[in-house]
Structure 1
Amino acid sequence: MMRLYRIELRRSPLLWCLPVLVLLDVAVLFGRHTWWVGVWPEASAAAQLPAFFFGLVLGGGAAWASGRVHRAGFSAQLEAAAVPAWRADALLLAASVTYGLAAYLPGVVLAAVVSAPIAGPGFLWPSYLLLGVCMVVLCTSIGHLAGKLSASRYVPPLVVAACMFGMMFTRQLFELYVLSAPVQVQVSATALAARGGLAVLLAVLAVALPRAGRVPGWGVRPGAARTAGAAALVAGFVLVPLAGPLRVDRPAPEQPVCSAGSPRVCVWPESRKYLQPIAAMAARLAALPSDVIEVPEVIYEAGVRGGMRSGEILRIEGDASVPGDLALAVQAQSLEGCRPAAGREEPYYRERLTLLHYLTLRALGPGHAVSPADAPPGVDGEKIAAVVRSAESAQAAWVRAQVSKIKTVGWCG
């Protein structure tokens, strides 16, 4: 068996596709963004996602390998061979899956290597990595099955492409992969088992179903076998949504990581790399005049105290999301109870947006390039950027004047 397996590894077209698969794996891992580095759940999700993107090439290669029998005209010889046809199919599928996992592994290793120096205790989450393995098996099995069921050299790759795009457009329904992994959630064991079961079912069908034009050895007509296989596959896809959502809320951490000083910032242990930058942002906002700008004494990341409680203002999705969340929370507390005066809605919200943009840039701090195009509609981005670059006394005077403008066109009870 091992000798035949090694032969299939050498004969597989995926041998020549492997460099492309690895390149796609690494390109997707680092090409989208890199804020996942140093956060173990996010790094795990980033490591599993390439399996979906290189799945199209992987499935196409598996379809080409599986259809080799038809193209070479060896269907009859395969049926008459001493080795059962299903065993030959199993070895061929195993070789294709091996190349898929060989392309998947470098991304996993790289995600762990670049995250370890700054992530703190912990490691990659196996649940997300297993989700990627399920995707590898799914893509390979779909390709293998398409190559078996059609003697055409063109239909199998088209079927694989259709299935991959189908998974993309039905992501919310089947959740076969994730784009990110917020620390507040974890993969449900039941949902992961359902997806693993679907992958195994597809692999079994890819091996067991008869090839095009072949009469299976156990006396079942090919049409009946394929109908039963299709019914089983439909049942498998139906059971995936019934298993519940892929991710569920995590219990609150026993010991969140908190900063010293005031205001304090408390985050999930997995988000520790963000703690000091967020504390510095909060301190910059707290340095503004306290008579007009109020900063919460403790700033919590979402879910740190269990569930979604009021006052948990941070849902960290990379560095760029934090300044805006802080600015929004500080403005809401500073202008609590304010609403536009009758007929003054437009100037009221414009002035609030102006203050919000200033607070966001203030939280971001010096040394960051800011484009005027990033300003909200109706806000003079260049003017606000100039205010942020001015002296502390000038900024304090501008903030007092801006809050006064808001209260002039609004009503604060």
Structure 2
Amino acid sequence: MNSFLLALRASPLRWLLVPLVALDLTLILTRDGYWHGLWGDTGAAGQVPTLFLGVFAAAAAAWTSSLRRPSEVAETLGAMPRPGPQAELPRIAVVLCVFLVPYLVGQAVCFAVTASSWPPGFNQYLGYLLLGVASLLTATGLGWIIGRLLSSRWGAAAGALGWLLIVMAFDNDLSVVNGPARMQPDLLEISLRAAAALLLLVACLWLPYGPRITRVSPLPGLTVVLALVATAAAVGNPVIDERHGSRTKACVKGPTEICLWPEEEKYKPMAQDVLARAENLPPVLAKPDAVHSLGLVYTEDRRWGGDFDMDSGSVWAMADGLTMAISAETFAACREKDFKGFEAQLKADDQSVLALERWLEKRLAGGGEPEYREEGMTESMAKAVETGKEMADRPEAEQKAWATATVRNVLGKYCDR
């Protein structure tokens, strides 16, 4: 411990602790609060800063390991009675401390926010917490090796760039943006990744001192190579899996049942509000028996799916899912395989159904502007979207009359055999 404290006091990296804690908390607290009360999203929110902390950790590790030691210091270290790895351990520990402490502080804040309600799915939080630790360990190990291969002039930049390239190459496996209930971090696979990264750091202790590797004994060199290969294999292995259904569901009953993942229990009041807005719809709109959160049901095309996703906690996602389900039920005759009604509607460029869907979506969401941006629309589609959204702001009687007339017109013109 004394060696670690002396190394921390001697390292200028110690001045990064407070700024990095501030950066970590800023990245967490400036996000939308949809992750509050959801263990998966809470762990993911606390893990997001590792995208930046990992870059800094790789750069700091490369810089530290490539530092040129004065000749008298190198001679003193070489004459020390204790093994070299014990002398090198404090320097690696300093780098880990400087970046793990801010990360764990941020995760502690995230934990405190959600722990008050203690929803289901705590193992999801643990998975994302450990995923962030594994990423920082891997970044530090990679940076340490790069620093030993390059001079201090290029080591830090190469370490940061190297880690960025790896994160980009492995997509979201090293850093995630959110942790929806339909995704499950694999604790065993993540633990193996963390263990491989820790093994790489231990192997780095036997690398020779100096600004760069000039001579490496066969056994330490082989150990580092094998540890690096094991870490690369662990990083390349997916650690977040799609969930396939759930034995229990958090369902809100009504004329249409809205079913959520058990971990999404927080959204039950939202579902109740959406169903309440759906109660006074015109009778010509057929309501489905149930709609489901993404991944909860096995669909006809032989995959696990659903009607909406709550990845960002948006009521518009739920409203859109129910809207599309109502539209599919209402105009089912137009979409039958042996009937050409839907094709005729497309050929005529009739966007009446699109206008109806946008009206219904805005109505079910409770008004306001959508939390997404429409792209790739034709002029007729854009006009239909605006018509539907404008209609949702008109008096109730006018909305019902317009919706009823639109449905009857489409059914009579395209869906009547």
Question: In structure 2, what residue type is equivalent to 1:295?
Answer: K
Structure 1 residue aligned with 2:91: 92
Q: Do residues 389 (structure 1) and 384 (structure 2) align?
A: no
Q: Which moved more, 1:225-234 or 1:132-141?
A: 225-234
Match of 1:50 in 2: 49
Report the identity percentage: 26
Specify the code of the residue in structure 1 equivalent to 2:33: T
SS in 2 for 1:125: helix
Verify: 1:130 aligned to 2:130, yes or no: yes
Q: Deviations over 1:74-117 (max 9, x none)?
A: 43433233332211211211121122221112211221222234
Q: Could you tell me which residue of structure 1 aligns to residue 402 of structure 2? A: 398
- 1:313-332 mapped onto 2 (5 Å cutoff): 313-317=307-311, 318-319=313-314, 320-332=316-328
Q: Counterparts of 2:30 and 2:170 in 1: how far apart (Å)?
A: 21
8 Å CA contact 1:48, 1:131 repeated in 2:
yes
Q: Is the 8 A contact 1:59 1:140 kept in 2?
A: yes
The residue that corresponds to 1:246 in the other structure is: 239
After superposition, the Cα gap between the structure-2 partners of 1:54 and 1:203, relative to the gap in structure 1 and judged at 3 Å, is same
1:401 corresponds to which letter in structure 2?
A
- Report if the CA contact (8 A) 2:293-2:308 is conserved: yes
For residue 196 of structure 2, what is the aligned residue in structure 1? 198
CA gap of 1:392–1:247, structure 2 versus 1, over 3 A, is: same
Alignment partners' CA distance in 2, 1:341 and 1:297: 23
Give the drift of 1:361.
0.8
Q: Distance in 2 between matches of 1:310 and 1:85?
A: 54
Range with bigger deviation, 293-302 or 127-136: 293-302
Question: What secondary structure does 1:55 align onto?
Answer: helix
Match of 1:314, SS? coil
* Residues 1:412 and 1:66: Cα distance change in structure 2 (over 3 Å): farther
* Pick aligned residue for 2:290 from 268, 276, 298: 298
CA contact (8 A) 1:71 1:153 kept: no
Matches within 5 A, 1:346-365: 346-348=347-349, 350-365=351-366
User: RMSD across aligned C-alpha pairs, in angstroms?
Assistant: 3.3
Give the whole-Å Cα distance in 2 for the aligned partners of 1:215 and 1:309.
Answer: 52
Q: Structure 2, unaligned stretches of length 5 or more? A: 336-340
Q: How far 1:388 sits from its partner (Å)? A: 0.6
Letter in 2 for 1:229: V
Instruction: Choose 195-204 or 335-344, whichever is displaced more.
Output: 335-344
TM-score (norm 2): 0.84
2:182 aligns with: 184
Q: Which residue of 2 aligns with 1:25?
A: 24
Matched, 1:410 2:405: no
Aligned equivalent of 1:379: 382
| C-alpha deviation, 1:118, in angstroms | 4.9
Q: Are the counterparts in 2 of residues 259 and 265 from structure 1 also a CA contact under 8 Å?
A: yes
User: What letter corresponds to residue 230 of structure 1 in structure 2?
Assistant: V
User: How far did residue 207 of structure 1 move?
Assistant: 1.6
Contact 2:344 2:414 in 1 (8 A): no
TM-score (norm 1): 0.85
Note the C-alpha offset of 1:372: 11
Residues 1:395 and 1:9: Cα distance change in structure 2 (over 3 Å): same
